[in-house]
Amino acid sequence: MNDDLKALIRTIPDFPKPGIQFRDITTLLLSPQGLAACIERMVAAVDGPVDLVAGVEARGFIFAAALAVPLNAGVLLIRKDGKLPGATIAEDYALEYGQDRIAIHADACAPGARVLLVDDLIATGGTARAAVRLLRKAGAVVTQAQFVVDLPDLGGADLLRADDVAASALVAFPGH
């Protein structure tokens, strides 16, 4: 399934450290046909209307903006803390070594807004789960998330599903 898209994603061994197989979507983005097919298939997988498509910094912004147009939805940017001007709300989450924090504008999401979470890749699910908590803290209804790539061996999509978020991806790769 989606082997045509999978073939456009480059694997870079031992990046950013030995043992990691980095799945590079920039090669998919270079293909107009591949990018168009990717967006078309992601739109087709959306369950019901959405008010906002939330993209996680930075590659998630690309897919959120592209999906928002055919979905007739706005784009909500989830940024690293300290990158947004004005009042924000934020959520902390654990990294392999330490903590990180993501934020949205405090007025970016009306209570009850139906939000689709989008990013290029899901691995352990730490950032995606923090994004769901953040959006729900703002009053959003988050029931679905889409990714271009899933690394199912790392379990992130399953953790999202445990948080009552239907998580799907166009392609999956084994390993890290």
| Short-list 162, 152, 92, CA closest to 126 | 92
How far apart CA 41 and CA 35 sit, in angstroms, is 10
User: Of 59, 101, 114, 161, which is the active-site residue?
Assistant: 59
Bridge partners of 99?
94
User: How are strands ordered across the β-sheet holding 98-105?
Assistant: 88-95, 98-105, 74-80, 52-56, 114-122, 141-150, 166-172
* Active-site residue, 91 included: no
* Active-site residue, 96 included: yes
Beta carbons within 10 angstroms of residue 39's beta carbon = 18
Here the tokens at position 116 are: 């689709």
CB neighbours of 97 closer than 8 A, spacing ≥ 6? none
Here the tokens at position 168 are: 């799907």
Q: Please identify every residue annotated as catalytic.
A: 59, 96
